[in-house]
C-alpha cells in the first residue's frame, strides 16, 4: 500500500484522528475535488487510516493544486 491516501474528510479531523493514534503525518493538503490528501510516514499507518475511514477513502484520480510553481 502507498503512504498517500485521499479521504473525504477535513484536514482538522484527519490530524486529530492521527494524533490520537500516534500516526505521523508527513504531508497534508486539501484537494480541489474535495477531501484531503494525506501522506503518512509508513504504509502500515496508511493501511490503519484507510481501515479507520473505510468508505470515506477516495479511490481513483483526484484534482490537486500544484505545490510548487514551475519556472519556464
Q: What is the pTM of this model?
A: 0.84
pLDDT band for position 60 (50/70/90)? confident
The answer to whether position 64 is within a domain reads no
**pLDDT 10s digits, 22-55:** 999 999 999 998 999 999 999 999 999 999 999 9
Task: Determine the Cα angle at 43 with ends 12 and 49, to 5°.
Answer: 35
In a domain, 43, yes or no: yes
The total domain count for the chain is 1
**44 located within any domain:** yes
How many C-beta neighbours within 10 Å does residue 34 have?
A: 11
Position 23 in a domain: yes
The confidence score (pLDDT) of residue 62 equals: 86
Domain that holds residue 18: 4-56
Amino acid at each position: 500500500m502507498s503512504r498517500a491516501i485521499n479521504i473525504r474528510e477535513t484536514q482538522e479531523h484527519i490530524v486529530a484522528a492521527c494524533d490520537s493514534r500516534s500516526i505521523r503525518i508527513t504531508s497534508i493538503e486539501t484537494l480541489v475535488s474535495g477531501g484531503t490528501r494525506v501522506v503518512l510516514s509508513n504504509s502500515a499507518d496508511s493501511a490503519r487510516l484507510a481501515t479507520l475511514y473505510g468508505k470515506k477513502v477516495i479511490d481513483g484520480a483526484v484534482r490537486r493544486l500544484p505545490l510548487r510553481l514551475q519556472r519556464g
